[in-house]
Structure 1
Amino acid sequence: MVPNPTIAVIPAASQGADEPYSFLCSFDTIFLIDDSGSMAGSRWKETADALETITPICTAHDADGIDIYFLNHANSDFYHNVTDAGTVREIFQTVLPRGGTPTGQRLNQILKPYLRGYEKNPDTVKPINIICITDGEPSDDVESPLIAAAKKLDKLDAPAWQIGVQFFQVGRDEVAKRHLKQLDDGLGEIAGDDDLRDIVDTVPFTGAEGTHLSGDGILKVVLGAVNRRLDRKKGEDLHR
């Protein structure tokens, strides 16, 4: 990953309050939501609230809206072109958390066809920013599809920001936190390739009860996996 060139060339004094989000127009934003049984209750509400907050920022820079996938929900594999927070609320009232956490399987279903399309038409396929909101450790192999995607991107000499995968943890599960951090900081080590490109970022929700994501926190969530400067931000600074 490399620093955002769009942000880098804008003098600080000329940046408006909304300017840091301008890089979003370069991406299709995909949310992958953990709807496992452990997400029921307060965590489901917390996830819905976070997504309602983030959605208007994403859609203000992408007229196509966002796509929403769930790990288990089979009634509709995904919701396409979601453009407002009200629709997000309706979706979360319809989907009921249940089942396991097959994060790797679902990521593979998103990444493989995308990479096939990119390989065929690299000049026309828009980069994607996948934001996975989860409370726990995956119940399957999530490392393999991430490593395979990073290796494929390296082989194709794709831009550093072609794919970003952001894991945003809700809840305070320490085991999950350590596992997600390993995906962020140690994917190359797991792959046995120190030069493997970094496509993963993780953010734990560290705010106290009743707090919400700050503006900086929202920016970290939506761009952290594709912007190295934001990737270095500390999670403790993200809530108010």
Structure 2
Amino acid sequence: MDCSPNTCFTQPPSTTPTSMSTLLTSLPVPACGAVISLCMAAHHKLLISVITLSVVVGILLTMSLVLLFFWCLRLRHGREGPIPVEGGSVDTTESILERPKRSDRLGTGSNVIKVEEVAVLPSPLESGPPSSSKPQLDVRDAIQESHVLPLSRVSSATSVHAFSEDDQSQCPCAQTDMVGQCSEHQSSPAPSIGALSIDDFDQGQDDEFHPEVRALVESGKFTKDAVRNMKPVAPKPGTVIPDYNPILDEVRPKKMDDYIRDYRIFFVIDDSASMVSHWNETRDALSEIADYALNYHTDTIDIRFFNSGYSRRGVRGMKEVMGAFRSVSPSNGTPTGPVLKEVLDQQLDRLNSAQLNGTYSSERPLDIIVLTDGVPNQGPPPATVIEEAAKRFKAGGHHQNLVGIQFVQIGDDENAGPTLLSLIDCANNNHMVDTLSYSQYKEQGGGKLTPQILKRIILGALHPNLRSYWNQFRHKVNERTSLVIY
């Protein structure tokens, strides 16, 4: 049969071996197109399968990460207790009185109770037989009596540790190589908060025992918020230089612009090697505070670092803070005591010079804020330095409210918080020192010291002569403040 190219699409088979490419090129157009279509269809199905598998794997990984996050969150809450929120409510999914015993660094005999404020614990400062029943704080009462700042300055969950006799050796304040010598304590039981009387408090330089303190202590409603809103009582005549700035006897500012105008602030920054991971965090927190000085044209902010010796007076604005932090690289140890001594000596010299020059009445109060992430490990301990400075300020006749010190813990070093808190336990220091451990802001700041938290820390400080009442109170109630994370 005659077959023309127009009516027949097949060719006789070749007897010569050919390659696949030759075979494909030798096929007529319709046959070649069919092969290509099959290949493309297979490729398309394979691509869809790969994409589908990738999406499924991604979803599974995401779900795994979410589950892991909630699991970690549950474990952390199991350790730290209920988390209070801004409105004052508390997660009560687990009773705060049913926490497991803590068997880590605080000792196996310590029962941990999670509350927002101070619980009633045996105190070493009172003698007498132990109470027949242990007073307890209701969660609701604890929140109402809380001394937290507006927007929750302090920790979302505080820990109160009831130490056994075996645990006393682990008290951070006993580590005198870190914090210096503190007053001796006995392990005698103490009365309840309501049983504390004004006779338990030293009035210091005040002309009389503060009447508001008297009323609040006797009513059992003595809180840090209440102390913050008090107007200080003037010092006894003859105990201080009379020509002091009258702002020392006024309520502390509640707004940052008023604070920058009327107060001086000296940031002492830890630049030890361990601060590398917190360097940007610290810089950013300071930058916004410095912007206030820039906006209000004041030179009231000074900064200096632990190791580098770099210091800058009259810092204004973020640009100058950034420049200071670029000039310093974290390294070496943590010489908190020696650096603090330099700053306190400079302030004392300044006050003495102002008295001689006739400018004493215009001297603004100084807040020294120490930002550190670790335990002091070089030079004299801070407790000794502060105690000696307090004696010199008193001997010079200077008003207590001229100088205050706040230690702010950066990061979550488990040893740093109790060590800094133990500075309050030294009786000669307790009017001058306040401390904030990492647990006080970790929830609100997402584990970081944010500019907003630093601002609340500054505005939440107490006058030293009022701080003396508060520190004495929490010291007597809690045996040692280093045992309580405020």
CA 1:219 to 1:9, structure 2 compared with 1: closer, same or farther past 3 Å?
Answer: same
CA deviation profile, 1:31-83 (whole Å, cap 9, x unmatched): 10000001112x11211121123323456567114111001114xx3111110
CA 1:218 to 1:120, structure 2 compared with 1: closer, same or farther past 3 Å?
Answer: same
Aligned partners of 1:9 and 1:90: how far apart in 2? 36
Q: 1:108 aligns with which of 341, 344, 349?
A: 341
Aligned partners of 1:155 and 1:58: how far apart in 2? 33
Aligned partners of 2:391 and 2:459: how far apart in 1? 23
Question: Does residue 303 of structure 2 align to residue 63 of structure 1?
Answer: no
Question: Does residue 269 of structure 2 align to residue 30 of structure 1?
Answer: no
Equivalence for 1:19:
255
CA 1:176 to 1:225, structure 2 compared with 1: closer, same or farther past 3 Å?
Answer: farther
Question: Does residue 457 of structure 2 align to residue 220 of structure 1?
Answer: yes
CA 1:50 to 1:81, structure 2 compared with 1: closer, same or farther past 3 Å?
Answer: same
Partner SS state of residue 157, structure 1 = coil
Q: Aligned pairs, how many?
A: 218
**Greater Cα shift, 204-213 or 157-166:** 204-213
User: Among the aligned pairs, what percent are the same residue?
Assistant: 28
TM-score by length of 2: 0.40
The structure that is strand-richer by fraction is 1
Partner SS state of residue 85, structure 1 = helix
Higher relative contact order (CA 8 A, sep 6+): 1
Q: How much has 1:92 moved relative to structure 2?
A: 1.3
CA 1:20 to 1:46, structure 2 compared with 1: closer, same or farther past 3 Å?
Answer: closer
Q: What RMSD in Å do the two structures reach over aligned CA positions?
A: 3.4
Q: How much has 1:212 moved relative to structure 2?
A: 5.3
Contact 2:421 2:437 in 1 (8 A): no
Aligned partners of 2:437 and 2:350: how far apart in 1? 32
Equivalence for 1:47:
282
Equivalence for 1:95:
328
| Structure 1 segment 139-158 matched on structure 2, within 5 A | 139=377, 140=379, 141-158=381-398
Question: Does residue 425 of structure 2 align to residue 186 of structure 1?
Answer: yes
Unmatched segments (≥5 aa) in structure 1: none
Unmatched segments (≥5 aa) in structure 2: 1-203, 205-226, 233-246, 472-483
Aligned partners of 1:152 and 1:179: how far apart in 2? 24
Q: How much has 1:137 moved relative to structure 2?
A: 1.0
Equivalence for 2:413:
173
Q: 2:435 aligns with which of 196, 202, 213?
A: 202
Equivalence for 1:161:
401
Contact 2:373 2:411 in 1 (8 A): yes
Q: Which has the larger radius of gyration?
A: 2
Q: How much has 1:106 moved relative to structure 2?
A: 0.8
Contact 1:59 1:65 in 2 (8 A): no
**2:455 maps to amino acid:** I
CA 1:174 to 1:210, structure 2 compared with 1: closer, same or farther past 3 Å?
Answer: closer
Partner SS state of residue 81, structure 1 = coil
**1:72 maps to amino acid:** N
CA 1:39 to 1:222, structure 2 compared with 1: closer, same or farther past 3 Å?
Answer: farther
Q: How much has 1:213 moved relative to structure 2?
A: 3.6
Partner SS state of residue 50, structure 1 = helix
Aligned partners of 1:26 and 1:197: how far apart in 2? 24
TM-score by length of 1: 0.75
**2:284 maps to amino acid:** D
CA 1:91 to 1:172, structure 2 compared with 1: closer, same or farther past 3 Å?
Answer: same
Q: How much has 1:95 moved relative to structure 2?
A: 0.9
Q: How much has 1:24 moved relative to structure 2?
A: 4.0
Contact 2:265 2:369 in 1 (8 A): yes
**Greater Cα shift, 62-71 or 161-170:** 62-71
CA deviation profile, 1:69-112 (whole Å, cap 9, x unmatched): 001114xx311111001221222122100011111111111111
CA 1:210 to 1:101, structure 2 compared with 1: closer, same or farther past 3 Å?
Answer: closer
